[in-house]
Amino acid sequence: MEMSMYSALFGALSTETRLNLSANNLANINTTGYKRDRVAFEDTFKRYAHDYHVDPRGDLREKEIFPRADLIAKPRLAMQTIDFSQGALQLTGNPLDLAIQGPGFFKVSNAGGTYYTRNGAFHRSSQGMLVTDQDYPVLGNGGPIQIPDGRSFSVDATGAVYVDGGQVAQIDVVNVQNPDALRKYGANLYTAADGATVQEGPAEGGTTQVAQGYLEKPNVEVVEEMVTMIETQRTFEAYQKVMTNSNELDTKAIRMGTEK
């Protein structure tokens, strides 16, 4: 089979993955605190046996026996990353809506595990706890946050929770020093990737602040993602043509060989 078929196949599979990610990004343009996925490409070089000089004794012959190494590059996906850049803040006026301005994450618990999120659309449960849309408790000082009844509720820039002027809790806002160790868990949550350890650090007050009455919009640019999808579709069609032409050439060569 022609090498062009393999090269086109690698390109088509990579392009399909890229198209799926762009479609998922567009599907989350209204998801609070969503961070878009990105992919990177690299050339993977493959050496063949004739590329290596098998005789280390170079003094036996004046000239090289084998030609210079020939490298064949195949495009493929190198890695998939999460873009944690800041999204715009949207005013809601709801005192239980919180947004993080700058690097950092809220911490929530679910089935005994601890997860990270940028989605600050919280509410007060029937038990008086501060919870997410999925009723996962928001953590403060390492445990669930209990909000007593009161006339006023406020959260300052550091995440301190006040009811009727008295502090009742401190929301855990942490800075993940190695965000590449995070993977998406679902429900707009993040957890440690397989085999990775999340390194937490305190959120710096000068660069990280909690905004009450705001929600963070997703960092997805609709026009950019639409252009990427169109470009990716055209690229996929080009790879299809390469595979079709390669197959036709192989068929023609086989037919000519059998006719002789």
Count of structural domains, the chain:
2
CA angle 226, 133, 169 (to 5 degrees): 120
DSSP class per residue in 207-225: T-EEEETEEEPP---HHHH
In tens, the pLDDT along 59-69 reads 544 555 545 54
DSSP class per residue in 153-212: EEE-TT-EEEETTEEEEEB-EEEES-GGGEEEEETTEEEEPTT----EEEPPTTT-EEEE
Q: What is the pLDDT of residue 101?
A: 95
69 plus 102 within the same structural domain: no
52 plus 131 within the same structural domain: no
Closest C-alpha among 34, 81, 31, 39 to residue 183:
81
Q: What share of the chain is helix, strand, coil (3-state, %, to 5)?
A: 30, 35, 40
Of the two residues 44 and 123, the one the predictor is more confident about is 123
208 plus 141 within the same structural domain: yes
Range of the domain at 109: 89-216
Residue carrying structure tokens 């909000």: 147
**How many whole angstroms separate alpha carbon 57 and alpha carbon 129?**
76
104 plus 197 within the same structural domain: yes
Predicted confidence (pLDDT) at residue 166 exceeds the cutoff of 90: yes
40 plus 104 within the same structural domain: no
185 plus 241 within the same structural domain: no
Say if residues 10 and 76 touch (Cβ distance below 8 Å).
Answer: yes
In tens, the pLDDT along 82-96 reads 999 999 999 999 999
Question: Where is 231: in which H helix or E strand?
Answer: helix 222-259
Say if residues 35 and 103 touch (Cβ distance below 8 Å).
Answer: no
235 plus 128 within the same structural domain: no
Q: What is the pLDDT of residue 60?
A: 46
C-alpha distances (whole Å) from 252 to each of 183, 240, 259 are: 48, 18, 11
95 plus 209 within the same structural domain: yes
**How many whole angstroms separate alpha carbon 201 and alpha carbon 184?**
20
227 plus 113 within the same structural domain: no
Q: Hey, what are 181's tokens?
A: 């160790």
143 plus 194 within the same structural domain: yes
Q: What is the pLDDT of residue 43?
A: 52
118 plus 206 within the same structural domain: yes
In tens, the pLDDT along 202-244 reads 887 778 999 999 999 999 999 999 999 999 999 999 999 998 9
Of the two residues 260 and 178, the one the predictor is more confident about is 178
128 plus 227 within the same structural domain: no
CA angle 212, 215, 221 (to 5 degrees): 150
